[in-house]
Chains A and B, each alone.
Chain A
Amino acid sequence: MKPPGKLADTNRARLPEGGLIDRSRPINFTFDGKAMTGFAGDTLASALVANAVRLVGRSFKYHRPRGILTAGADEPNALVTLRTGARAEPNTPATTIPLFEGLAAQSQNRWPSLGFDIMAANQLFAPLFVAGFYYKTFMWPAKFWERLYEPAIRRAAGLGALSGLPDPDSYDRDHAFCDLLIIGGGASGIAAALAAARLGLRVIIATDDTMLGGALLSSTRDIADQPAPYWAAAAQRELAAFPNVTMLLRTSIFGIYDGQTYGGVERVSDHLPVPAAGMPRQRLWKIVAKRAIMATGAIERPMMFGNNDRPGVMMASAVSTYLNRYAAKPGARAVITTACDSGWACAADLVNRGIDVCAIVDTRPAAQNCAQQSPQFAPIRNSVRVFHHAAITTVRGRQVTGVTVRDESGQFHVLDCDLVAMSGGWNPAIGLASHLGGKPVWSAAIESFVMGCAPPGLVAAGAANGEFTTRAALASGHNAALAVGADLGFDSVLPAPPMASEELSGVGAAWSNPWSSGKTFVDFQHDVTADDIGLAVREGYRSIEHLKRYTTLGMATDQGRISQLHGHAMLADHTGRSIAEAGTIRARPPYHPVAIGVMAGHHRGEHFRPARLTPTHGWAQDRGAAFVDAGQWKRAQWFALPQDKGWQDTVIREVTATRTGVGICDISTLGKIDVQGPDAGQLLDRLYINTMSSLPINKARYGVMLREDGFVMDDGTVTRFADDHFFVTATTANAARVMQHIDFARQVLWPELDVQATSVTENWATFAVAGPHSRALLMLAFPHIDLSNAAMPYMGAGQYAWGTRPLRLYRLSFSGELAFEVSVPATHGLALWLHLMEAGNTYGVVPYGTEALGVMRIEKGHSAGNELNGQTTAADLGLGRMMSTRKDFIGRVMAARPGLVDPARPALVGLIPCHAAETIRAGAHLLPLNAAPVAANDQGYVTSAAYSPTLGHSIALALLAHGPNRHGEVVVVHDPVRGRDITATVTSPVFLDPAGERLRG
């Protein structure tokens, strides 16, 4: 970066005095690497204006040179990439960036440079590149689309570029609640806030800007006998002192949602080089407001004339803003073109600042021209040449060097100038009001659309309500706040709103220009011209939505707020309708573009979703366990030891140690639901396909639940601790859904049953102790408990104490070994785990993870998540005989449909590879031997697979058509996405101890 020159050199177009900038605080910045200086209070755009930079960007399609058009958030042309590296932020309107020290901005969509852009050659093909041209060509040959045409189009399109690096900044979220949200900090917003604050309402006022004031900050008008910006500053100080007022500066309300919820983005740190330590870049506000006042102002419309996009053509209000607020001169010699009085106000500002105004080109006949009559503009009329009922036909120069004007008599005049200020009337900024579907309605009085059906609780005030003058805006905001106050019961007498000096309204419109010569831009950024509108109409794209989609009118970053209404008016004209009949587009959120990062808040990286940890998580971490995600849970997958050669080795060791000695596994993630009440048994009978009410106390039973559509929902165990007390487990994955299902059954289906249910998943820590030595281990750990087969048989259960702590024991086995599940309140989980590990030392206990758990359950042919996939019936899983025929239960009737009882449905089998060294993988499909690999021969698929250390080869569970009748048959295991076909023998799904002798041992 080269050091900037002297202040005076780099502020060539800065007025010697005035403006709301702090000349004592110069700020260095660069644009396309060129060092420049501005002042505190500048935006990047105003600093560029002050540095006499006119060429700022390139347009989307034709790559035409573009300058700064506006001074606000709807800027379509002056988009830059702000900052560099990972903080690069493409497509940022220069008009919205408060200048900060070291700011670096680059122009976009040009190569090699802004001044010389190769793609500007597109303009040579402009006769071909009309709206929709790409729909008519690039079709031959078909293969060339992806290879040639499309890559070229993609490279040429787009505006700025992402860095490709992770966003280094953080984002925050906050909620707020208030009586009244005021959207906008201009005259009506401030007046509303002052009134509401004095009434005692809880008020939030949000403004995009760095301070309150809105258009007042650019105004030369007086309010309450002081200059408008001073009045705004005083009001801001006054509001800041109210405890019931929250002022959200640099905050854009971007959307209205149901429940009177307003989305906002606060740019907490965007005005700083980097966010301060611990501070977010931006904050997402979700504001619930009983009432809201939309005081969003109005947006000035451009004028239609040839080359109206040239650098040096600017909105009249923007010219005034640069002059008055920033003391920056957008040009030295101006021509004004206007359809309303606002152009005249701009002329007055220019003249007052000593800038030559060459002419005012007013589309209105002199007789209908208020400004022409107004004493306010007498000095202008005397010093400036005025063309009535006239139009600019074209702009001369690549950057403005002059204009051609057609006067009332048809004479043409060439005028030299370097600035064209235009005002084609005003559109109330009502986009937010359409977010809930409200359709804007046409107002002939202001020649624009106003809010139609308002979102609940919202009113418009000030210019957003078509009340364009400062005086009217102040009264409008004040009265709107009074009405809200009265509505919410805050009545008191307030002083009248402050008075502003007289001004003209700014109403007026010139929708098209028959004398325009050269490209006349309707949508600046997307290069949609008046001719494109005509073409679209000729081709039949006559609805407002077709026009938008065919021409891309209104789809640029300003969402058509600058000029789509001109397009709609032209459409109306071409199709012989009024503008009201043709209608306009309903805006959709966000009102202003919102960073994806701020919508996501903190939810990224590790914090994307919360992690649920089991009681032994820390212990497992210390042991170097690998973890696996099971829903939100982190579960230990295996516990590798230094001597293990890879994870497979670890799992083999864990399985073998468990099957030959004893192993222990944290299964606390299982869903646990306590069901109590006199009718608990009856409820469970209706929930499970088998009967639970007959369960003896201190006994557990395996159960299967169906969905009402007859497919399996979940499985688990039910244990009865008392007549009216059952304890239900659900799989980890389905725990929440099963809880919801039980609550639905007892609250909605059968509220007459006297039964309560509550989730106790987090309340109990549970460990499986499995293996031939499991009983010995537990006898050592709990010498006071009788664990003999007689006292604690298979599927037995009991409640005990471990010291002062409650302890529950269940003799359940997922592994197929002699096994128990031990449970204590979760706060004692780690203590229990350590106690069991210590007791197990004698027996060489190993902790085992979910992988070993999975291997052992596959060896036993137990269904788990892969089989309970929501597509299987109880019969598919070999559990059809559990379905009671003596009672109703959820899913019973639908389970009897032909599609669910079809004997050809794939049903659970085991698979063993024909060659022991080969591996079967889950997800492979099954084909008959020697059948062609086509869908017609697809007979099922592998659900779960593992290497069985116990058997010494790969095993798998699969769903196979007619499977239970095909044990012994050889099938092809087809897995083309991962490898070659292998063959396997169909077996029973129970690979180990089919008689269940081990678990009863």
Chain B
Amino acid sequence: MQPFSIFELAKQALSKHRGWQPAWRDAAPKSGYDIVIVGGGGHGLATAFYLAKVHGLTRIAVVEKGWIGGGNAGRNTTIIRSNYGLAGNEPFYEWSMKLWEGLEQALNYNAMVSQRGVLNLYHSDAQRDGYARRGNAMRLHGVDAELLDRARLRQMVPFLDYDNARFPIMGGLYQARGGTARHDAVVWGYARAASALGVDIIQNCEVLGFLRDQSGAVCGVETARGPIAAGKVGIAVAGHSSQVAQLAGIRLPIESHVLQAFVSEGLKPVIPGVITFGAGHFYISQSNKGGLVFGGDIDGYNSYAQRGNLPTAEDVCEGGMALMPMIGRARILRSWGGIMDMTMDGSPIIDRSPVDGLYLNAGWCYGGFKATPASGWCFAHLLATDAAHEVAAAYRLDRFRTGHLIDEKGVGAQPNLH
């Protein structure tokens, strides 16, 4: 792998940057692999990277329907955090955070992991106590969490509407280690590092079905570019998990929903970290390019269209104006919609599927981006060892049958409410 550094950059500049190599090999499919990962998003590529790096496997392919990072990896609001309340979730997201913290060095790719803090505001005593419950749970897991009062908030984020608010801001739960990362760079960084370790990244290669052996076990994938044999197949196609699982005859506890996000024109720095509103659906951060990146609730109906509708866009902006009326004259430059695998309890699945040889990484709801490193790590662990990684042990597919649900919001089997 061609190293990335300021020195290499200077060296290449002398030759007018004609010496740079492709970041990853655009591989053609071979006849077979030990492991084939379906889905060239962040999770799939991270899985391939850790399979190679941690487990020393080499015959690995990632097959991608379009171009890598073209799904939700490129359609999110780039937030990273590990501020979960339930024991099934918190160790996993904290492991992800730890991987984020060393990601650039592990990948030799600057994904701009930026720990500028995540602040969740509360507006009532009950909400404060709920955040205290969560913050205490985080602390018990060894994760940083602070409960800030209004006076601290006024120092930290003076531009919030403290005085005219319909739902006055009382304080916030703060995770200083939370922040953002450059989403596309995460995909490219994993792709480049995985490719350098011998992983084949095969783009424009839609999976059309699964190959089965006599026992019925999955032994490869049928693709638009021909059959590819595989010892094991892992699915990491959040947004379309139901569609791909259906090719193996599996029904999942998942619905696909669209989540819109928005970015403003570039502005000089004004918002320090990530801020979420507690009395409406709105969260915001500012990118390094200066755009305000913000979003809110899912549109709320099953959708495979990567676009949303006006009522949700209006609702998001209402939240923004209620929280920080200084953004009224900032302009929305662009919006996008990502298709979310919304599960029945709002938490993901990393598990064997009911079909031998086929493994599932799915159900990331609107929280998949922050999970990318740990999702890859734990899925690689499962694929390589056939055992769940300890931090992902709760993400079993059968928890819906057994009732060991991981329902942070407590809204039950209603995906659009999570």
Contacts and interface: CB of A to CB of B under 8 A. Distances in A.
**Direct A–B touching, Cβ under 8 Å:** yes
Interface of A: 60, 87-91, 127-128, 130, 133-140, 142, 145-146, 150, 153-155, 157-167, 169, 171, 255, 257-258, 261, 263, 284, 286, 435-437, 531, 535, 538-543, 545-546, 549-550, 552, 555, 557, 559, 588-590, 593-597, 599-601, 603-609, 611, 628-629, 707-711, 713, 865-866, 869-871, 894, 897-900, 921-925, 933-935, 937-938, 941, 974-978
A550 B67 CA distance: 13
Contacts of B266: 60, 91, 157-159, 557
B95 to A, nearest CB: 13
Contacts of B74: 545, 549
Nearest to A125: B13
B270 A164 contact: yes
A712 to B, nearest CB: 10
B331 A605 contact: no
Nearest to B24: A540
Interface in B1-22: 4-6, 8-10, 13, 16-18, 20-22
Nearest to A434: B307
Given A136-B110, A535-B17, A162 B22 contact: no
B212 interface: no
B55 interface: no
A981 B66 CA distance: 54
B104 interface: yes
Contact of A161 (B102, B130, B268, B344): B268
Contacts of A923: 128-136
B140 interface: yes
Contacts of A165: 326
Contacts of A941: 133, 136-137
Contacts of B322: 600, 603-605, 608
B116 A146 contact: yes
Contact of B307 (A157, A435, A604): A435
Nearest to B182: A135
B102 A146 contact: no
Nearest to B195: A540
11 contacts: A88-B329, A127-B13, A166-B325, A543-B66, A593-B332, A608-B280, A611-B166, A709-B405, A897-B401, A922-B126, A937-B140
A935 B140 contact: yes
A128 B15 CA distance: 11
A866 to B, nearest CB: 6
Contact of A263 (B9, B87, B105, B310): B310
B404 interface: yes
Interface stretch (B141-149, B220-228, B361-369): B141-149
B123 interface: yes
A146 B178 CA distance: 12
Contacts of A629: 123-124, 167, 279
Contacts of A590: 332-335
B112 interface: yes
Given A255-B310, A559-B333, A589-B335, A977 B325 contact: no
A139 B288 contact: no
B102 A588 contact: no
Contact of B410 (A130, A869, A938): A869
Nearest to B303: A258
A955 B394 CA distance: 34
B114 A977 contact: no
Nearest to A61: B289
Contacts of A91: 265-267, 331
B110 A978 contact: no
B328 A166 contact: yes
B402 A154 contact: no
Contacts of B317: 596-597, 599-600
A870 B407 contact: yes
B300 interface: no
B115 interface: yes
A334 to B, nearest CB: 32
Contacts of B305: 436-437
Contacts of B306: 437
A550 B23 CA distance: 12
A139 B310 contact: no
B356 interface: no
A557 B265 contact: yes
A142 B111 CA distance: 12
A937 B409 CA distance: 23
B8 to A, nearest CB: 7
B136 A924 contact: yes
A542 B173 CA distance: 43
Contacts of A605: 161, 164-166, 322, 325
B328 A169 contact: yes
A285 to B, nearest CB: 11
B311 to A, nearest CB: 9
A605 B135 CA distance: 29
Contacts of B184: 549-550
B264 interface: yes
A243 B24 CA distance: 63
A138 B125 CA distance: 43
Q: Which of B66, B189, B264, B321 has the most CB of A within 10 A?
A: B321
Interface in B262-307: 264-270, 279-280, 286, 288-290, 305-307
Contacts of A137: 4-6, 9, 110
A923 B140 CA distance: 13
A552 B405 CA distance: 42
B67 A599 contact: no
Contact of A135 (B17, B109, B410): B109
A150 B326 CA distance: 24
Interface in B348-383: none
Contacts of A134: 110, 112
Given A540-B22, A941-B136, A595 B67 contact: no
B345 to A, nearest CB: 9
B155 interface: no
B23 A977 contact: no
A938 B9 contact: no
Given A159-B266, A976-B139, A593 B331 contact: yes
Of A135, A165, A593, A710, the most chain B CB neighbours within 10 A belong to A135
